[in-house]
């Protein structure tokens, strides 16, 4: 019963590191404006729920916003930050204005008519901020909006060139937010691990993780990645009603948008007793840990993504078909740049450099085709001046580490 819940609120047992909201907002705004300048854009229209949270701390109905967008923000270097199409506004926006319909739900077959009106709003905003620059960055919109803006003589570029790179480097306040999100995720993992018993379903286990996040004022999980027994291989199967059996491996990946909108991305694989782990289960676990350990040692400021890919751990050929899609990726308020693919799947699509104050996740999945068992591990780290600091600290599974 919720009325007798004496464990879920992590603040009862542990305090988060301090976060200055004004300083946090100033940092995030400065990062967005820096990327506007780098792209020579007069303004950006932000639509993604992650971008709205980052820019003006707008949090309402993010999953609805992701597929039926109604809210959007106009942001420029010197002008006001204006949020449109919301009921109560956003604490960090300078102004709140009515919005135009930008989804099929709201405009159906007259989307193009409202797109033309929205283009007029953009032109008016440019006049308000007193700029002759006609280059605008637009994030995740319908082609009708792009056409309408171009019809007004504007040069339209991808808004993600502003919003995504802005989030890559973290301030100390953001790092403290991420530390707390990780702490909440690991609090949930601890409850989940205790509940791993024969007869418990995957969905019941996942529910504990989700409940812990919500109880600590977190937001959502990007997926329900928890699988057991023969469903653990291949990976990326979401939680099901299947009930855990003695001897099963149980794997999970938090993929959690937690408190303050920051991401905790941690994977662990556990073993369900009373049966003892098999030799193959222990072997898979050791191999996954070996990959994680090898790739952690490569993380440092200045290493290029191409160099990282060339030097990253290469699993035995039998594990390559089911290997995880990437060896590392960035996180902040969600999965984000950069991403490095395994070398055996071809050259990385882009290059770049790992920098200090990025937050990186190091991934491994070991499971051979046509076998039941597989092991998923993932560690989240902060890139420091000389290497990295481990942010995820949940213990490894001792029974799978035994010789």
* Residue 51, number of CB atoms within 10 A of its CB: 27
User: 222: exposed, middle or buried (C-beta count within 10 Å: 0-12, 13-18, 19+)?
Assistant: middle
What residue spans define the domains of the chain? 21-166, 172-401
pLDDT in tens, 94-109: 999 999 999 999 999 9
Q: What is the mean pLDDT of the chain?
A: 97
Distance (Å, rounded) from C-alpha 224 to C-alpha 42? 40
Q: What is the mean pLDDT of residues 310-314?
A: 98
Q: For position 319, what pLDDT does the model report?
A: 98
CATH of domain 172-401: 3.90.230.10
Does 157 have pLDDT greater than 70? yes
Q: What is the mean pLDDT of residues 319-335?
A: 98
Does 122 have pLDDT greater than 80? yes
Calculate the alpha carbon distances from 216 to 9, 179, 190, 199, 200 in Å.
6, 14, 15, 28, 24
Q: Which helix (H) or strand (E) element contains residue 388?
A: strand 388-390
Q: What is the mean pLDDT of residues 384-396?
A: 97
Give 1's pLDDT tier (boundaries 50, 70, 90): confident
Does 403 have pLDDT greater than 70? no
Does 140 have pLDDT greater than 90? no
- Protein fold of 21-166: Creatine Amidinohydrolase; Chain A, domain 1 (3.40.350)
Does 125 have pLDDT greater than 70? yes
Share of the chain above pLDDT 70, in %: 100
Q: What's this model's pTM, rounded to 2 decimal places?
A: 0.96
pLDDT in tens, 237-255: 999 999 999 999 999 999 9
Give 222's pLDDT tier (boundaries 50, 70, 90): very high
Distance (Å, rounded) from C-alpha 66 to C-alpha 58? 13
Give 402's pLDDT tier (boundaries 50, 70, 90): confident
Q: What is the mean pLDDT of residues 286-309?
A: 98
Structure tokens at 14: 């542990």
Q: For position 3, what pLDDT does the model report?
A: 81
Does 390 have pLDDT greater than 90? yes
Q: For position 2, what pLDDT does the model report?
A: 84
Give 64's pLDDT tier (boundaries 50, 70, 90): very high
């Amino acid at each position: 019963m919720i009325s007798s819940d004496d464990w879920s609120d992590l603040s009862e047992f542990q305090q988060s590191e301090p976060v200055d909201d004004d300083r946090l907002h100033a940092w995030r705004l400065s990062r967005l404006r820096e990327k506007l300048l780098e792209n020579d854009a007069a303004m950006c229209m932000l639509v993604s729920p992650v971008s709205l949270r980052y820019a003006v701390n707008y949090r309402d109905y993010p999953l609805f916003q992701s597929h039926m967008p109604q809210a959007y923000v106009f942001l420029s270097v010197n002008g006001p930050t204006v949020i449109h199409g919301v009921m109560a506004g956003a604490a960090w926006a300078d102004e709140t204005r009515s919005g135009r319909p930008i989804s099929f739900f709201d405009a159906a077959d007259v989307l193009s008519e409202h797109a033309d009106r929205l283009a007029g709003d953009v032109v008016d905003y440019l006049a308000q901020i007193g700029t002759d620059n006609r280059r605008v960055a637009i994030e995740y919109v319908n082609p009708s909006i792009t056409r309408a803006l171009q019809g007004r003589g504007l040069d339209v570029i991808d808004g993600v060139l502003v919003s995504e790179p802005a989030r890559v480097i973290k301030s100390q306040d953001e790092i403290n937010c991420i530390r707390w999100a990780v702490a909440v995720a690991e609090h949930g993992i601890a409850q989940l691990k205790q509940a791993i018993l024969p007869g418990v379903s995957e969905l019941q286990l996942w529910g504990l993780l989700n409940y812990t996040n919500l109880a600590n004022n977190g937001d959502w999980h990007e997926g329900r990645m928890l699988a057991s027994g023969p469903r653990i291989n291949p990976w990326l199967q979401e939680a099901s009603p299947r009930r855990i059996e003695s001897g099963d491996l149980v794997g999970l990946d938090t993929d959690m948008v937690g408190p303050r909108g920051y991401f905790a991305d941690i994977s662990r694989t556990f073993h369900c007793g009373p049966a003892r782990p098999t030799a193959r289960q222990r072997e898979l676990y050791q191999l996954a840990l070996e990959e994680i350990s090898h790739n952690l040692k490569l993380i440092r400021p200045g290493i290029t993504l191409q160099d990282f890919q060339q030097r990253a751990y290469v699993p035995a050929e039998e594990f390559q078909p089911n290997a995880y899609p990437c060896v590392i990726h960035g996180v902040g308020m969600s999965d984000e740049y950069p991403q490095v693919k395994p070398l055996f799947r071809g050259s990385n699509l882009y290059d770049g450099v790992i920098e200090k104050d990025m937050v990186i996740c190091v991934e491994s999945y070991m499971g051979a085709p046509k076998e039941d068992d597989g092991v998923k591990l993932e560690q989240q780290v902060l890139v420091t001046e000389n290497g990295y600091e481990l942010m995820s600290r949940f213990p490894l599974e001792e029974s799978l580490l035994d010789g």
